[in-house]
Structure 1
Protein backbone atom coordinates (compact mmCIF):
# COMPACT_ATOMS: atom_id res chain seq x y z
CA UNK A 1 0.00 0.00 0.00
CA UNK A 2 2.36 2.75 -1.17
CA UNK A 3 0.90 6.11 -0.33
CA UNK A 4 -0.27 5.26 3.18
CA UNK A 5 -1.71 8.55 4.44
CA UNK A 6 -2.05 10.14 7.86
CA UNK A 7 -5.26 8.91 9.44
CA UNK A 8 -5.31 5.64 7.48
CA UNK A 9 -5.69 2.43 9.45
CA UNK A 10 -2.27 0.78 9.43
CA UNK A 11 -2.22 -2.66 7.76
CA UNK A 12 -2.56 -5.60 10.15
CA UNK A 13 0.21 -7.66 8.56
CA UNK A 14 1.73 -10.93 9.75
CA UNK A 15 5.50 -11.23 9.89
CA UNK A 16 8.38 -13.33 11.15
CA UNK A 17 10.43 -11.49 13.79
CA UNK A 18 13.15 -12.08 16.34
CA UNK A 19 10.41 -12.93 18.88
CA UNK A 20 8.50 -15.25 16.51
CA UNK A 21 5.58 -14.68 14.16
CA UNK A 22 3.38 -11.69 15.00
CA UNK A 23 0.17 -10.06 13.87
CA UNK A 24 0.90 -6.36 13.99
CA UNK A 25 -2.32 -5.12 15.61
CA UNK A 26 -2.12 -7.84 18.27
CA UNK A 27 1.51 -6.92 18.92
CA UNK A 28 0.53 -3.28 19.50
CA UNK A 29 -2.48 -4.05 21.68
CA UNK A 30 -3.64 -0.78 23.28
CA UNK A 31 -0.21 0.85 22.95
CA UNK A 32 1.19 3.44 20.59
CA UNK A 33 3.68 1.98 18.13
CA UNK A 34 6.79 2.93 16.17
CA UNK A 35 7.70 0.82 13.15
CA UNK A 36 11.06 1.84 11.70
CA UNK A 37 12.97 0.26 8.83
CA UNK A 38 16.71 0.21 8.16
CA UNK A 39 18.60 -0.72 4.96
CA UNK A 40 20.73 -3.65 6.10
CA UNK A 41 22.01 -5.56 9.12
CA UNK A 42 25.76 -5.45 9.80
CA UNK A 43 26.12 -1.90 8.48
CA UNK A 44 27.56 1.08 10.38
CA UNK A 45 24.78 3.71 10.39
CA UNK A 46 22.08 1.13 11.11
CA UNK A 47 24.09 -0.18 14.08
CA UNK A 48 24.28 3.31 15.58
CA UNK A 49 20.56 3.83 15.04
CA UNK A 50 19.34 0.61 16.61
CA UNK A 51 21.87 1.06 19.38
CA UNK A 52 20.39 4.46 20.19
CA UNK A 53 16.85 3.11 19.91
CA UNK A 54 17.74 0.35 22.37
CA UNK A 55 19.23 2.84 24.84
CA UNK A 56 16.10 5.00 24.66
CA UNK A 57 13.65 2.11 24.87
CA UNK A 58 12.81 2.81 28.57
CA UNK A 59 11.72 6.32 27.56
CA UNK A 60 9.45 4.94 24.84
CA UNK A 61 8.06 2.37 27.29
CA UNK A 62 7.24 5.15 29.78
CA UNK A 63 5.14 6.73 27.03
CA UNK A 64 3.29 3.46 26.31
CA UNK A 65 5.04 3.05 22.95
CA UNK A 66 6.03 -0.32 21.51
CA UNK A 67 8.97 -0.29 19.11
CA UNK A 68 9.60 -2.69 16.25
CA UNK A 69 12.29 -2.55 13.54
CA UNK A 70 12.33 -3.97 10.02
CA UNK A 71 14.77 -4.77 7.23
CA UNK A 72 15.09 -7.20 4.33
CA UNK A 73 17.45 -9.46 6.31
CA UNK A 74 16.56 -12.84 7.81
CA UNK A 75 15.67 -13.55 11.44
CA UNK A 76 18.99 -15.39 11.75
CA UNK A 77 20.89 -12.29 10.59
CA UNK A 78 18.87 -10.06 12.93
CA UNK A 79 19.72 -12.26 15.91
CA UNK A 80 23.42 -12.36 15.04
CA UNK A 81 23.60 -8.61 14.38
CA UNK A 82 21.81 -7.88 17.67
CA UNK A 83 24.92 -9.11 19.47
CA UNK A 84 26.95 -6.44 17.65
CA UNK A 85 24.42 -3.75 18.62
CA UNK A 86 24.61 -4.80 22.27
CA UNK A 87 28.43 -4.68 22.10
CA UNK A 88 28.27 -1.26 20.41
CA UNK A 89 26.26 -0.07 23.42
CA UNK A 90 28.96 -1.47 25.72
CA UNK A 91 26.43 -3.75 27.38
CA UNK A 92 26.96 -7.28 28.67
CA UNK A 93 26.70 -10.09 26.08
CA UNK A 94 23.83 -11.54 28.12
CA UNK A 95 21.67 -8.48 27.35
CA UNK A 96 18.96 -8.77 24.72
CA UNK A 97 17.39 -6.28 22.34
CA UNK A 98 14.41 -4.56 23.99
CA UNK A 99 12.30 -4.67 20.82
CA UNK A 100 11.81 -7.16 17.97
CA UNK A 101 13.08 -6.87 14.40
CA UNK A 102 10.94 -7.97 11.45
CA UNK A 103 12.47 -10.16 8.73
CA UNK A 104 11.13 -8.90 5.38
CA UNK A 105 13.50 -10.90 3.19
CA UNK A 106 10.93 -11.11 0.35
CA UNK A 107 10.41 -7.32 0.50
CA UNK A 108 6.65 -7.79 0.72
CA UNK A 109 6.14 -5.33 3.57
CA UNK A 110 8.69 -2.89 2.16
CA UNK A 111 6.74 -2.74 -1.10
CA UNK A 112 3.32 -2.58 0.58
CA UNK A 113 4.40 0.24 2.92
CA UNK A 114 6.50 2.19 0.40
CA UNK A 115 9.77 1.67 2.27
CA UNK A 116 12.19 0.92 -0.58
CA UNK A 117 15.04 3.29 -1.42
CA UNK A 118 15.42 3.50 -5.23
CA UNK A 119 19.04 4.68 -4.99
CA UNK A 120 20.42 2.05 -2.60
CA UNK A 121 20.78 -1.52 -3.85
CA UNK A 122 22.35 -4.75 -2.66
CA UNK A 123 24.99 -6.78 -4.50
CA UNK A 124 22.27 -8.37 -6.63
CA UNK A 125 20.87 -5.00 -7.69
CA UNK A 126 17.77 -5.27 -5.48
CA UNK A 127 16.59 -2.11 -3.69
CA UNK A 128 17.19 -1.80 0.05
CA UNK A 129 14.75 -0.49 2.61
CA UNK A 130 15.05 3.23 3.35
CA UNK A 131 15.04 4.66 6.86
CA UNK A 132 11.29 4.91 7.28
CA UNK A 133 9.42 5.79 10.47
CA UNK A 134 5.74 5.17 11.11
CA UNK A 135 4.07 6.19 14.37
CA UNK A 136 0.75 4.46 14.95
CA UNK A 137 -1.83 5.41 17.58
CA UNK A 138 -3.77 3.06 19.88
CA UNK A 139 -6.62 3.35 17.33
CA UNK A 140 -4.25 1.67 14.81
CA UNK A 141 -4.25 4.79 12.62
CA UNK A 142 -1.11 6.37 11.17
CA UNK A 143 -0.22 9.51 13.14
CA UNK A 144 3.17 10.42 11.63
CA UNK A 145 5.48 9.21 8.87
CA UNK A 146 9.06 10.23 8.05
CA UNK A 147 11.23 8.88 5.24
CA UNK A 148 15.01 9.31 5.32
CA UNK A 149 17.46 8.14 2.65
CA UNK A 150 19.80 5.30 3.54
CA UNK A 151 22.75 7.69 3.92
CA UNK A 152 21.15 9.79 6.71
CA UNK A 153 20.81 8.44 10.23
CA UNK A 154 17.76 9.39 12.27
CA UNK A 155 17.41 11.24 15.58
CA UNK A 156 15.53 9.05 18.07
CA UNK A 157 15.41 11.87 20.62
CA UNK A 158 13.33 13.76 18.05
CA UNK A 159 10.97 10.78 17.84
CA UNK A 160 10.46 11.00 21.59
CA UNK A 161 9.68 14.71 21.20
CA UNK A 162 7.07 14.12 18.51
CA UNK A 163 5.52 11.30 20.54
CA UNK A 164 5.12 13.77 23.42
CA UNK A 165 3.45 16.23 21.05
CA UNK A 166 1.20 13.63 19.43
CA UNK A 167 0.04 12.27 22.78
CA UNK A 168 -0.57 15.73 24.24
CA UNK A 169 -2.46 17.07 21.23
CA UNK A 170 -4.55 13.87 21.02
CA UNK A 171 -5.90 14.69 24.48
CA UNK A 172 -5.87 18.49 24.63
CA UNK A 173 -7.06 21.09 22.11
CA UNK A 174 -3.62 22.61 21.63
CA UNK A 175 -0.78 22.60 19.11
CA UNK A 176 2.96 22.54 19.80
CA UNK A 177 5.20 25.23 18.23
CA UNK A 178 8.63 24.92 16.65
CA UNK A 179 11.24 23.17 18.82
CA UNK A 180 8.63 22.51 21.53
CA UNK A 181 9.64 20.18 24.36
CA UNK A 182 7.58 18.61 27.13
CA UNK A 183 6.78 21.31 29.69
CA UNK A 184 7.08 24.26 27.28
CA UNK A 185 4.11 26.49 26.61
CA UNK A 186 1.76 25.43 23.82
CA UNK A 187 -0.44 27.23 21.28
CA UNK A 188 -4.20 27.69 21.35
CA UNK A 189 -5.88 26.40 18.18
CA UNK A 190 -7.16 29.13 15.82
CA UNK A 191 -10.70 27.71 15.80
CA UNK A 192 -11.12 28.24 19.57
CA UNK A 193 -12.82 31.50 20.50
CA UNK A 194 -11.41 33.76 23.21
CA UNK A 195 -14.34 32.92 25.48
CA UNK A 196 -13.85 29.19 25.00
CA UNK A 197 -10.08 29.53 25.44
CA UNK A 198 -10.57 31.24 28.79
CA UNK A 199 -12.70 28.29 29.95
CA UNK A 200 -10.40 25.61 28.52
CA UNK A 201 -7.15 27.10 29.81
CA UNK A 202 -7.57 28.48 33.33
CA UNK A 203 -3.81 29.08 33.60
CA UNK A 204 -4.31 31.95 31.16
CA UNK A 205 -3.80 32.77 27.50
CA UNK A 206 -1.26 35.30 26.22
CA UNK A 207 -1.35 36.80 22.73
CA UNK A 208 1.60 37.97 20.65
CA UNK A 209 0.87 41.33 19.05
CA UNK A 210 1.60 41.32 15.30
CA UNK A 211 1.65 44.01 12.58
CA UNK A 212 -1.41 42.45 10.95
CA UNK A 213 -3.43 43.02 14.09
CA UNK A 214 -4.66 39.42 13.87
CA UNK A 215 -4.63 37.65 17.21
CA UNK A 216 -3.70 34.14 16.11
CA UNK A 217 -0.44 33.73 18.06
CA UNK A 218 -1.97 32.63 21.36
CA UNK A 219 0.00 30.76 24.00
CA UNK A 220 -0.92 28.94 27.19
CA UNK A 221 1.07 26.85 29.70
CA UNK A 222 1.09 23.17 28.83
CA UNK A 223 -2.16 21.72 30.21
Structure 2
Protein backbone atom coordinates (compact mmCIF):
# COMPACT_ATOMS: atom_id res chain seq x y z
CA UNK A 1 0.00 0.00 0.00
CA UNK A 2 1.03 3.61 -0.44
CA UNK A 3 1.71 4.20 3.26
CA UNK A 4 4.50 1.61 3.14
CA UNK A 5 6.10 3.41 0.18
CA UNK A 6 6.06 6.97 1.50
CA UNK A 7 9.85 7.12 1.67
CA UNK A 8 10.08 5.70 -1.86
CA UNK A 9 7.91 8.54 -3.15
CA UNK A 10 9.76 11.11 -1.05
CA UNK A 11 13.06 9.99 -2.61
CA UNK A 12 11.52 10.90 -5.97
CA UNK A 13 10.23 14.28 -4.70
CA UNK A 14 6.65 13.04 -5.05
CA UNK A 15 3.98 14.15 -2.59
CA UNK A 16 0.95 11.96 -1.90
CA UNK A 17 -2.60 13.18 -1.31
CA UNK A 18 -5.67 10.96 -1.11
CA UNK A 19 -9.37 11.71 -1.45
CA UNK A 20 -12.29 9.63 -0.25
CA UNK A 21 -16.05 9.83 -0.27
CA UNK A 22 -17.46 9.65 3.24
CA UNK A 23 -21.16 9.33 4.08
CA UNK A 24 -22.52 10.61 7.35
CA UNK A 25 -22.45 7.69 9.84
CA UNK A 26 -25.94 8.52 11.18
CA UNK A 27 -27.42 8.07 7.70
CA UNK A 28 -25.57 4.93 6.72
CA UNK A 29 -27.69 1.77 6.76
CA UNK A 30 -24.69 -0.46 6.24
CA UNK A 31 -23.62 -2.04 9.52
CA UNK A 32 -20.12 -2.48 8.13
CA UNK A 33 -19.81 1.25 7.36
CA UNK A 34 -16.55 2.70 8.62
CA UNK A 35 -15.91 6.46 8.34
CA UNK A 36 -12.56 7.16 6.75
CA UNK A 37 -11.13 8.71 9.93
CA UNK A 38 -11.65 5.39 11.71
CA UNK A 39 -10.41 3.49 8.67
CA UNK A 40 -7.13 5.43 8.81
CA UNK A 41 -6.71 4.42 12.44
CA UNK A 42 -7.40 0.80 11.47
CA UNK A 43 -4.78 0.97 8.72
CA UNK A 44 -2.23 2.37 11.16
CA UNK A 45 -3.09 -0.38 13.64
CA UNK A 46 -2.86 -3.17 11.07
CA UNK A 47 0.37 -1.75 9.63
CA UNK A 48 2.29 -1.47 12.89
CA UNK A 49 5.97 -1.87 12.20
CA UNK A 50 5.53 -0.83 8.57
CA UNK A 51 4.51 2.80 8.20
CA UNK A 52 1.62 4.92 9.41
CA UNK A 53 -0.25 7.16 6.99
CA UNK A 54 1.61 10.45 6.89
CA UNK A 55 -0.10 12.15 3.95
CA UNK A 56 -3.31 14.22 3.82
CA UNK A 57 -6.67 12.62 3.02
CA UNK A 58 -9.38 14.95 1.74
CA UNK A 59 -13.05 14.19 2.45
CA UNK A 60 -15.55 14.39 -0.40
CA UNK A 61 -18.74 13.84 1.59
CA UNK A 62 -21.28 14.75 -1.09
CA UNK A 63 -19.31 13.39 -4.04
CA UNK A 64 -18.87 16.79 -5.70
CA UNK A 65 -15.19 16.30 -6.44
CA UNK A 66 -15.65 12.66 -7.38
CA UNK A 67 -18.19 13.74 -10.00
CA UNK A 68 -15.92 16.55 -11.15
CA UNK A 69 -13.00 14.17 -11.64
CA UNK A 70 -15.27 11.42 -13.01
CA UNK A 71 -13.96 8.79 -10.63
CA UNK A 72 -17.19 7.02 -9.68
CA UNK A 73 -17.58 3.41 -10.75
CA UNK A 74 -20.31 3.31 -13.39
CA UNK A 75 -21.16 -0.28 -12.48
CA UNK A 76 -22.27 0.91 -9.07
CA UNK A 77 -24.21 4.07 -9.95
CA UNK A 78 -27.46 2.49 -8.77
CA UNK A 79 -26.21 3.24 -5.26
CA UNK A 80 -26.22 6.93 -6.03
CA UNK A 81 -29.06 9.05 -4.70
CA UNK A 82 -28.56 12.44 -6.31
CA UNK A 83 -31.69 13.93 -4.70
CA UNK A 84 -30.16 14.10 -1.25
CA UNK A 85 -28.43 17.30 -0.23
CA UNK A 86 -25.74 15.11 1.24
CA UNK A 87 -25.59 11.87 -0.70
CA UNK A 88 -26.25 8.86 1.50
CA UNK A 89 -25.72 6.22 -1.17
CA UNK A 90 -22.64 7.29 -3.04
CA UNK A 91 -21.46 4.96 -5.75
CA UNK A 92 -18.13 3.36 -5.02
CA UNK A 93 -15.26 5.39 -6.27
CA UNK A 94 -13.23 3.74 -8.94
CA UNK A 95 -9.61 3.48 -7.92
CA UNK A 96 -8.19 6.45 -9.75
CA UNK A 97 -4.75 7.98 -9.41
CA UNK A 98 -3.45 11.13 -11.06
CA UNK A 99 0.27 11.79 -11.44
CA UNK A 100 0.59 15.57 -11.55
CA UNK A 101 3.87 17.03 -12.71
CA UNK A 102 5.85 19.88 -11.15
CA UNK A 103 5.15 23.47 -12.12
CA UNK A 104 5.87 23.99 -15.82
CA UNK A 105 5.30 27.33 -17.52
CA UNK A 106 2.99 28.41 -14.73
CA UNK A 107 0.86 25.26 -14.71
CA UNK A 108 0.76 21.76 -13.27
CA UNK A 109 0.00 19.15 -15.91
CA UNK A 110 -1.44 15.66 -15.45
CA UNK A 111 1.31 13.31 -16.63
CA UNK A 112 -0.45 9.97 -16.19
CA UNK A 113 -3.78 8.56 -15.02
CA UNK A 114 -4.47 5.15 -13.49
CA UNK A 115 -8.12 4.11 -13.44
CA UNK A 116 -9.21 0.72 -12.11
CA UNK A 117 -12.70 -0.53 -11.21
CA UNK A 118 -13.41 -0.46 -7.49
CA UNK A 119 -12.93 -4.23 -7.31
CA UNK A 120 -9.29 -4.04 -8.45
CA UNK A 121 -6.51 -2.79 -6.21
CA UNK A 122 -3.56 -0.66 -7.29
CA UNK A 123 -0.19 -2.11 -8.18
CA UNK A 124 1.97 0.35 -6.28
CA UNK A 125 5.14 -0.96 -7.94
CA UNK A 126 3.70 0.02 -11.32
CA UNK A 127 3.02 3.53 -10.04
CA UNK A 128 6.67 3.82 -8.97
CA UNK A 129 7.82 2.41 -12.32
CA UNK A 130 5.80 5.03 -14.22
CA UNK A 131 7.21 7.82 -12.05
CA UNK A 132 10.74 6.56 -12.74
CA UNK A 133 9.99 6.38 -16.46
CA UNK A 134 8.59 9.93 -16.58
CA UNK A 135 11.42 11.42 -14.55
CA UNK A 136 14.04 9.57 -16.59
CA UNK A 137 12.43 10.70 -19.85
CA UNK A 138 12.28 14.32 -18.69
CA UNK A 139 15.88 14.38 -17.52
CA UNK A 140 17.56 12.52 -20.37
CA UNK A 141 15.44 13.02 -23.51
CA UNK A 142 14.60 9.35 -23.86
CA UNK A 143 11.52 7.19 -24.06
CA UNK A 144 10.93 3.84 -22.41
CA UNK A 145 9.91 0.67 -24.31
CA UNK A 146 7.22 -1.83 -23.32
CA UNK A 147 7.95 -3.66 -20.06
CA UNK A 148 10.75 -1.23 -19.22
CA UNK A 149 12.07 -1.31 -15.69
CA UNK A 150 14.81 0.82 -14.11
CA UNK A 151 18.12 -0.42 -15.48
CA UNK A 152 16.65 -1.64 -18.74
CA UNK A 153 17.53 -0.21 -22.14
CA UNK A 154 15.84 3.03 -23.15
CA UNK A 155 14.78 4.42 -26.52
CA UNK A 156 16.71 7.45 -27.76
CA UNK A 157 14.37 10.35 -28.41
CA UNK A 158 13.60 10.65 -32.15
CA UNK A 159 14.44 14.36 -32.11
CA UNK A 160 18.01 13.61 -31.01
CA UNK A 161 20.53 13.36 -33.85
CA UNK A 162 22.98 10.46 -34.06
CA UNK A 163 25.82 12.83 -33.15
CA UNK A 164 23.95 13.96 -30.04
CA UNK A 165 23.09 10.37 -29.20
CA UNK A 166 26.75 9.32 -29.57
CA UNK A 167 27.77 12.01 -27.14
CA UNK A 168 25.13 11.13 -24.56
CA UNK A 169 24.90 7.37 -25.16
CA UNK A 170 28.24 6.22 -26.68
CA UNK A 171 27.13 2.60 -27.00
CA UNK A 172 23.68 3.12 -28.45
CA UNK A 173 22.58 0.78 -31.22
CA UNK A 174 20.20 1.28 -34.12
CA UNK A 175 17.56 -1.43 -34.50
CA UNK A 176 15.57 0.64 -37.00
CA UNK A 177 16.06 4.26 -38.04
CA UNK A 178 13.23 5.18 -35.66
CA UNK A 179 14.33 2.76 -32.91
CA UNK A 180 17.68 3.43 -31.27
CA UNK A 181 18.42 1.70 -27.98
CA UNK A 182 20.79 2.84 -25.26
CA UNK A 183 21.88 1.45 -21.93
CA UNK A 184 20.96 3.28 -18.78
CA UNK A 185 22.40 1.47 -15.75
CA UNK A 186 20.43 1.58 -12.51
CA UNK A 187 20.79 0.01 -9.12
CA UNK A 188 18.62 -2.78 -7.82
CA UNK A 189 15.26 -1.57 -6.54
CA UNK A 190 12.67 -3.65 -4.79
CA UNK A 191 9.16 -2.29 -4.43
CA UNK A 192 6.11 -4.03 -2.98
CA UNK A 193 6.74 -7.57 -4.17
CA UNK A 194 8.52 -6.70 -7.41
CA UNK A 195 12.23 -6.50 -7.99
CA UNK A 196 13.43 -4.17 -10.71
CA UNK A 197 16.65 -5.44 -12.28
CA UNK A 198 18.42 -4.87 -15.54
CA UNK A 199 16.83 -7.02 -18.17
CA UNK A 200 13.80 -8.39 -16.40
CA UNK A 201 10.87 -7.91 -14.10
CA UNK A 202 10.49 -10.62 -11.50
CA UNK A 203 7.09 -11.23 -10.00
CA UNK A 204 7.60 -13.07 -6.74
CA UNK A 205 3.90 -13.84 -6.39
CA UNK A 206 3.90 -16.09 -9.44
CA UNK A 207 7.57 -16.92 -9.55
CA UNK A 208 7.64 -16.17 -13.26
CA UNK A 209 9.99 -13.84 -15.11
CA UNK A 210 8.94 -11.61 -17.97
CA UNK A 211 11.63 -10.76 -20.50
CA UNK A 212 11.56 -8.61 -23.60
CA UNK A 213 14.52 -8.93 -25.94
CA UNK A 214 15.58 -7.34 -29.19
CA UNK A 215 17.94 -9.46 -31.27
CA UNK A 216 20.32 -6.88 -32.67
CA UNK A 217 23.01 -9.24 -33.91
CA UNK A 218 25.95 -7.82 -31.97
CA UNK A 219 24.24 -7.90 -28.62
CA UNK A 220 20.89 -8.68 -27.13
CA UNK A 221 19.04 -5.94 -25.32
CA UNK A 222 16.93 -7.10 -22.41
Q: TM-score range by the shorter chain?
A: 0.5 to 0.7
State the structure with more CA Rg: 2
Indicate the RMSD between aligned Cα atoms, in angstroms. Answer: 2.4
Q: Which structure 1 residue ranges, 5 or more long, are not aligned?
A: 1-51, 209-213
Q: Which structure 2 residue ranges, 5 or more long, are not aligned?
A: 26-34, 81-87, 186-222
Aligned positions of 1:109-188 closer than 5 A = 109-121=65-77, 122=79, 125-139=89-103, 140-188=108-156
TM-score, length of structure 2 as denominator length: 0.67
1:97 counterpart = 2:46:
no
Deviation track 1:14-53 (CA, whole Å, cap 9, x = no partner) reads xxxxxxxxxxxxxxxxxxxxxxxxxxxxxxxxxxxxxx11
| Number of residue equivalences | 164
Q: Contact between 2:71 and 2:94, CA under 8 Å: does it hold in 1?
A: yes
Structure with bigger RCO (C-alpha 8 Å, 6+ apart)? 1
Distance change (3 Å), C-alpha of 1:183 and 1:75:
farther
TM-score, length of structure 1 as denominator length: 0.66
- The residue matched to 1:67 in structure 2 has which SS? coil
Per-residue deviation at 1:74? 6.2
1:221 counterpart = 2:183:
yes
Q: Contact between 1:75 and 1:102, CA under 8 Å: does it hold in 2?
A: no
Q: Contact between 1:186 and 1:220, CA under 8 Å: does it hold in 2?
A: yes
Q: Contact between 1:75 and 1:103, CA under 8 Å: does it hold in 2?
A: no
1:88 counterpart = 2:56:
no
